């Protein structure tokens, strides 16, 4: 697994700066003003820092950008990176600046001289998120933790905020590692094993195997995986950090590989279907983050783990399957499998846990990419309050999300001649009809949101906070939503 840096928060110490042999980072405001520590460093460098700050290179540097000097005179450091950042910079500016530092320095040992800068936690967050690199499958290059020190005026003022960010980043990295893993490595069984290991953090984990799923009546979930040699599983994760209130529920689609089944996908690009368990990956990462920071809330995560393969035993187009709820579904396209997985676990989650609210996540439709690209996830909800809570949290974390419509006008596209419904409604409004399908498995009084993350879970180009590949989108937003709305709150979220 990709390790976090070995991080320490230390008080300002000039001698430690002089003797440091890694990479130094110093924050300087747009006017070139140095704090006391910076002034002492400049004196040791015989005024070289002043000359740089007076140069056109620094004057033309945009706010939040960096300028690096190799082997600075008078210091043992391998390099000095100057960051143009004002003391009153906000959260977004600090996080973006952390990204710029990561790009400039990569994974070398770093000492950041934050001094009196108040947003050190956000700076660190951006730096670490961008420094992620998935190397688990490379034989000659393995992930190693780098050393990161943050020098501040008051450790007490910063250390708790930084450690809380680290807990959430650990969850993000867990999600990224899961989504980046190839399907022969992340099988349904190995996925369940990794989730079971979360019990070490105080999460209660249950793994439901096929005989129990059949007994529960999860036939739509089981029909997706019946063509594969990998056994289908449902994993339930409980974090009980609150009081006696009902838990909030996260539900995730975990298709570890999606060939499309009998409705076989084209060969080109099929290798990317290792990311079709992205919803389950985000649920797993969020649960880990909540446990690591000891969230004062009750949260349950339920994920359905299957593999969609063609075989003599695979579900066929035209088959009719009865769901756990009891409704029958005519399978028109076996490549619309994620909604079949979610249908059963959504119903199971409500029946067993009676949650105060519920959000499902799934790399569900290519149509959402046509509509929103790779910048936004689609948000579908039956509850304005819950929808706004999530979108506000996503916006605060810089994770794009946009609300899409849900209305009965689209239900006619799901009508089946021989069953209660079809599993697809045609090309028109494909993401919306998928949401309408899921809504049939949500009880009328249940605050619920469906997040279609097909465009944001894994991307071909680097994003602001991640290299290309898995982004970990959603972990930070869901964590913030719980922190802002459900910790220590016993009444229901919906309204």
Active site residues: 265, 339
Assess contact for 494 and 357: CB atoms under 8 A.
yes
Tally Cβ neighbours within 10 Å of residue 182.
12
Q: Which of 479, 442, 455 is nearest to 376 (CA)?
A: 455
CA atoms of 142 and 137, how far apart (whole Å): 8
| 141 three-class SS | coil
CA atoms of 479 and 369, how far apart (whole Å): 24
CA atoms of 229 and 244, how far apart (whole Å): 41
What value, to the nearest 5°, has the Cα angle with vertex 225 and ends 134 and 325?
A: 115
CA atoms of 89 and 114, how far apart (whole Å): 13
Q: Classify residue 11 by burial, with Cβ atoms within 10 Å: 0-12, 13-18, 19+.
A: exposed
| 304 three-class SS | strand
Q: Which of 237, 243, 251, 168 is nearest to 203 (CA)?
A: 237
What value, to the nearest 5°, has the Cα angle with vertex 438 and ends 437 and 443?
A: 115
Angle between helices 475-485 and 384-396 (to 10 degrees): 120
DSSP 202: T
The answer for residues whose C-beta is within 8 angstroms of residue 356's C-beta and 6 or more apart is: 245, 246, 247, 248, 447, 486, 492, 493, 494
DSSP tally for the chain: helices H, then strands E:
16, 19
Assess contact for 191 and 305: CB atoms under 8 A.
yes
């Amino acid at each position: 697994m990709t390790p976090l840096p070995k991080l320490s928060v230390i008080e300002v110490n000039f001698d430690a700066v002089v003797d440091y042999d890694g990479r130094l980072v110093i924050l300087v405001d747009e006017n070139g003003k140095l704090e006391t520590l910076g002034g002492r460093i400049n004196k040791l460098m015989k005024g070289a820092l002043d000359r740089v700050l007076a140069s056109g290179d620094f004057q033309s540097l945009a706010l939040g950008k960096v300028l690096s000097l190799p082997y600075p005179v008078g210091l043992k450091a391998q390099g000095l990176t100057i960051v143009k950042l004002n003391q009153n910079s906000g959260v977004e500016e600090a996080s973006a600046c952390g990204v710029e530092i990561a790009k400039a320095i990569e994974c070398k040992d770093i000492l950041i001289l934050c001094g009196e800068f108040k947003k050190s936690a956000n700076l660190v967050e951006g730096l670490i998120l961008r420094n992620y690199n998935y190397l688990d499958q490379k034989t000659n290059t393995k992930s190693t933790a780098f050393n990161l020190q943050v020098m501040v005026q008051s450790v007490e003022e910063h250390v708790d905020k930084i450690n809380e960010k680290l807990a959430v980043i650990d969850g993000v990295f867990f999600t990224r590692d899961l989504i980046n893993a190839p399907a022969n490595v992340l099988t349904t069984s190995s996925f369940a094993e990794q989730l079971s290991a979360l019990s070490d953090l105080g999460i209660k984990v249950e793994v439901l195997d096929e005989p129990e799923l059949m007994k529960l009546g999860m036939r739509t979930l089981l029909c997706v995986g019946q063509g594969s040699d990998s056994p289908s599983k449902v994993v339930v994760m409980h974090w009980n950090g609150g009081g006696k209130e009902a838990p909030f529920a996260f539900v995730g689609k975990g298709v570890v590989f999606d060939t499309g089944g009998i409705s076989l996908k084209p060969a080109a690009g099929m290798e990317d279907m290792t990311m079709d368990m992205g919803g389950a990956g985000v649920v797993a990462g969020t649960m880990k983050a909540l446990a690591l920071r000891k969230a004062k809330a009750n949260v349950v995560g339920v994920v359905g783990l299957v593999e969609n393969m063609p075989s003599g035993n695979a579900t066929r187009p035209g088959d009719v399957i009865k769901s756990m709820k009891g409704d029958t579904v005519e399978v028109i396209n076996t490549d619309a499998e994620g909604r079949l997985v979610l249908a059963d676990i959504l119903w199971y989650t409500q029946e067993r846990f009676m949650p105060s609210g519920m959000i499902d996540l799934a790399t569900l439709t290519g149509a959402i990419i046509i509509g929103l690209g790779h910048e936004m996830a689609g948000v579908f909800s039956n509850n304005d309050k819950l929808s706004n809570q999530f979108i506000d949290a996503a916006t605060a974390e810089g994770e794009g999300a946009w609300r899409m419509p849900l209305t009965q006008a689209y239900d006619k596209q799901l009508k089946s001649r021989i069953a209660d419904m079809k599993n697809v409604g045609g090309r028109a409004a494909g993401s919306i009809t998928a949401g309408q399908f899921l809504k049939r498995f949500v009880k009328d009084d249940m605050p619920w949101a469906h997040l279609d993350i097909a465009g944001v879970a894994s991307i071909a180009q680097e994003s602001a906070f991640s290299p290309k590949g898995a982004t970990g989108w959603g972990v930070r937003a869901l964590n913030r939503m719980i922190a802002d709305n459900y910790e220590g709150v016993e009444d229901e979220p919906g309204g």
